[in-house]
């Protein structure tokens, strides 16, 4: 049995890679590979189109050389849809016996479209055990109808099987197969040309309900975490691959009531002195209320924290169901910065209920965050991703002016809102670049104290930004063409987006489908917390 796992690229490439030199290792594929290697005689290979700058034709050459029985593509990002389907179609044309499998956020909520466009099986939600079961069925030659949590092709159409239960104990997962990739390809060059970034997860799921987020429907409302001993096992096992950064991919690294467990984990990491600097994603309210925990995390290696602030308008935050207050965000940024942590803030423009004045409020608030210590802000465009409430609403009410999935990259408008999409793009462009200009000017006219632990990283990042300036200028030169493209697409809204009543029904049905069966005896729909400290 030969299995080829592929991380596809977006047509425009990863903005994190092109702008910041940040390309973390493909944890999802490494996790799948670890499960597959439990099967006797199974050979697994991984292709990372982002890391190797590969075209679809180059991937086909690799497929021809490896001759896999199964090809699995993780369509984690909606904008990778087109590339993934192209590979699946070409693979089936050239090797009709190969089984093509799709998984990831995007695949989970549009499975029937992927079946029509070349895939044989779509994995819904968590794929760790599901994919291994698919491989075993291929070996045995048995049908797929007994595998829960998939949509498979039968007589040319997609057939959905019964829902699968969430994995209750994440400690039972195989260790990621780190030996299958070249660690030197996974960089964080904004902080050093030789930086290597490992991805690990300590938990899955999110108990919150932001209307724009596909995390909760993908992983379920249940927040589950690994034990501290398992987390330490993974960190220790990765030492031999010479990574110096660890990106904990948890959508929220600290969630109540696991504060005590995290405190003990930080103690264990500090005592082990592993040498990793690590990156996490945090909520501002939890951060602001636990300054002592943040101090302990920084002492254990926490060096970069990303927080989804989203908006500077309390009214917009309420409509997003974000559950944050703007003073908490300022306090959280200050606490992280004072502890030597680089602070990245995610903010969002162009929500369907947002006006120009709301967006300008968000931009002004980003300056307040900069004053509190925020080092970078990513202004994305509010995008209705499959699986979210806002996607269902946009489809049902025909607010989308394109169904070209390439544009669903959270940087490009795709939806009719209160403000013309080209205007939103112009505001986003101004917001992104003006933040750094103002921050640079502020650093020159006012003496700003920087935590010693943070100073080195800030200096490296500043050098990187100056080296990248020619690329940023080229991006600016391309911007007018992007505005024209958006305006033309938007002007064709009256002609429709190819959404028939049938396709609307299918999109809404799949996007809103409950994909997990509730576990027997479950009493808490939000948390699965290990008792081990």
Per-residue model confidence as pLDDT tens digits over 41-100: 999 999 999 999 999 999 999 999 999 999 999 998 888 999 999 999 999 999 999 999
Q: Are residues 113 and 223 in the same domain?
A: no
Could you tell me if residue 152 is inside a domain? yes
Q: Are residues 161 and 310 in the same domain?
A: no
Q: How many CB atoms lie within 10 A of CB 307?
A: 25
- Give whole-number Cα distances, 78 to 9, 26, 142, 412, 450, in Å: 11, 16, 31, 12, 38
Q: What is the mean pLDDT of residues 494-507?
A: 72
Which residues have C-beta within 8 Å of that of residue 427, sequence separation ≥ 6?
349, 356, 359, 360, 363
Mean pLDDT of the chain: 90
Q: Are residues 255 and 119 in the same domain?
A: no
- Give whole-number Cα distances, 491 to 394, 399, 419, 480, 495, in Å: 17, 13, 14, 16, 9
Give the per-residue pLDDT at 524.
44
Helix, strand, coil % over all residues of the chain, rounded to 5:
50, 15, 35
The CATH number of the domain holding residue 355 is 3.20.20.70
Residue in 513, 530, 524, 515 with CA at minimum distance from that of residue 166: 515
Could you tell me if residue 404 is inside a domain? no
Q: Percent of the chain beyond pLDDT 90?
A: 67
Sequential DSSP letters for 343-382: EEEEEEE--TT--HHHHHHHHHHHHHHHHHT--EEEEEE-
Give the per-residue pLDDT at 443.
78
Give the per-residue pLDDT at 496.
54
Q: Are residues 307 and 221 in the same domain?
A: yes
Give the per-residue pLDDT at 526.
40
Last residue of a domain, one of 130, 165, 200: 165
Residue in 336, 330, 318, 348 with CA at minimum distance from that of residue 254: 336
The CATH number of the domain holding residue 52 is 3.40.50.280
Pairing of strands 99-103, 245-248: unpaired
Give the per-residue pLDDT at 532.
42
Q: Are residues 120 and 224 in the same domain?
A: no
Q: Are residues 347 and 456 in the same domain?
A: yes
Could you tell me if residue 7 is inside a domain? yes
Could you tell me if residue 409 is inside a domain? no
Q: Are residues 34 and 148 in the same domain?
A: yes
Alpha helices in 14-149 (DSSP H): 15-20, 27-36, 49-52, 56-66, 81-94, 105-109, 111-116, 128-140
User: Structure pTM?
Assistant: 0.90
Could you tell me if residue 182 is inside a domain? no
Q: Are residues 225 and 345 in the same domain?
A: yes
Q: Cα-atom radius of gyration of the chain, to the nearest Å?
A: 23
Q: Are residues 227 and 258 in the same domain?
A: yes
Q: Are residues 225 and 326 in the same domain?
A: yes
Least confident of 14-18, 90-94, 133-137, 462-466: 14-18
Domain that holds residue 54: 2-165
Q: What is the mean pLDDT of residues 101-105?
A: 95
Least confident of 344-348, 372-376, 445-449, 450-454: 445-449
- Is residue 475 over pLDDT 70? yes
Last residue of a domain, one of 165, 196, 228: 165
What is the SS3 assignment for 304?
Answer: strand
Give the per-residue pLDDT at 459.
86
Give the per-residue pLDDT at 525.
41
Rounded to whole angstroms, the Cα distance separating 338 from 395 reads: 44
- Is residue 215 over pLDDT 80? no
Q: Are residues 122 and 258 in the same domain?
A: no
Could you tell me if residue 403 is inside a domain? no
- Give whole-number Cα distances, 413 to 75, 76, 426, 509, in Å: 20, 19, 11, 24
Least confident of 180-189, 198-207, 510-519: 510-519
Bridge partners (DSSP) of residue 151 are 122, 160
Q: Are residues 131 and 230 in the same domain?
A: no
Number of domains in the chain: 2
Could you tell me if residue 237 is inside a domain? yes
Could you tell me if residue 322 is inside a domain? yes
């Amino acid at each position: 049995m030969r299995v080829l796992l592929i991380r596809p690229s977006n047509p425009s490439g990863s903005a994190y890679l092109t702008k910041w030199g940040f390309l973390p290792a493909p944890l999802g594929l490494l996790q799948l590979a670890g499960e597959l290697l439990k099967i006797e005689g199974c050979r697994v290979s991984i292709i990372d189109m982002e890391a190797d700058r590969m075209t679809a034709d180059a991937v086909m050459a690799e497929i021809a050389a490896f001759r896999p029985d199964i090809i699995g593509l993780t369509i984690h990002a909606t904008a990778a849809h087109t590339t993934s389907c192209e590979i699946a179609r070409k693979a089936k044309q050239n090797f009709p016996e190969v089984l093509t499998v799709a998984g990831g956020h995007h695949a989970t909520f549009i499975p029937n479209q992927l079946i029509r466009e070349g895939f044989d099986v779509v994995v819904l939600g968590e794929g760790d055990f599901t994919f291994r079961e698919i491989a075993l069925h291929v070996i045995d030659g048995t049908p797929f109808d007994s595998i829960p949590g998939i949509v498979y092709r039968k007589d040319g159409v997609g057939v959905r099987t019964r829902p699968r239960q969430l994995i209750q104990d994440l400690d039972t997962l195989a260790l990621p197969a780190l030996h299958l990739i070249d660690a030197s390809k996974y960089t964080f060059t904004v902080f050093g040309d030789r930086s290597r970034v490992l991805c690990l997860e300590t938990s899955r799921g999110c108990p919150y309900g932001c209307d724009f987020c596909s995390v909760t429907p993908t992983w379920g409302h249940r927040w589950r975490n690994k034990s501290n001993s398992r987390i330490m096992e993974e960190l220790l096992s990765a030492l031999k691959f010479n990574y110096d950064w660890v990106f904990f991919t948890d959508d929220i690294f600290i969630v109540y009531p696991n504060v005590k467990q995290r405190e003990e984990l930080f103690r264990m990491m500090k005592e082990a002195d592993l040498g990793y600097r690590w990156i996490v994603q945090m909520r501002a309210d939890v951060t602001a209320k636990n300054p002592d925990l943040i101090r302990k995390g920084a002492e254990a290696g926490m060096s970069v924290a990303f927080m989804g602030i989203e908006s500077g308008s309390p009214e917009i935050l309420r409509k997003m169901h974000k559950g944050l207050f703007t003073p908490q965000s300022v306090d959280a940024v200050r606490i992280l910065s004072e502890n030597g942590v680089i602070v990245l803030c995610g903010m969002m423009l162009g929500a369907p209920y947002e006006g120009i004045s709301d967006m300008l409020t968000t931009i002004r608030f980003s300056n307040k965050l900069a004053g509190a210590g925020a080092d970078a802000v990513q202004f994305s465009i509010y995008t209705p991703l499959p699986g979210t409430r806002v996607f269902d609403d946009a489809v049902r009410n025909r607010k989308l002016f394109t169904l070209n999935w390439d544009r669903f990259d959270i940087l490009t408008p795709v939806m009719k809102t209160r403000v013309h999409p080209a205007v939103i793009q112009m505001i986003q462009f101004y917001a992104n670049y003006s933040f750094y200009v103002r921050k640079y000017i502020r650093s020159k006219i006012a003496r700003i104290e920087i935590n010693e632990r943070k100073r080195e990283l800030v200096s490296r990042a500043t050098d990187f930004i100056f080296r990248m300036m020619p690329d940023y200028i080229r991006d600016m030169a391309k911007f007018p063409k992007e505005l024209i493209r958006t305006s033309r697409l938007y002007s064709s809204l009256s002609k429709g987006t190819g959404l028939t009543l049938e396709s609307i029904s299918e999109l809404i049905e799949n996007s809103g489908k409950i994909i997990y069966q509730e576990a027997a005896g479950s009493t808490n729909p939000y948390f699965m917390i290990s008792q081990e400290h």
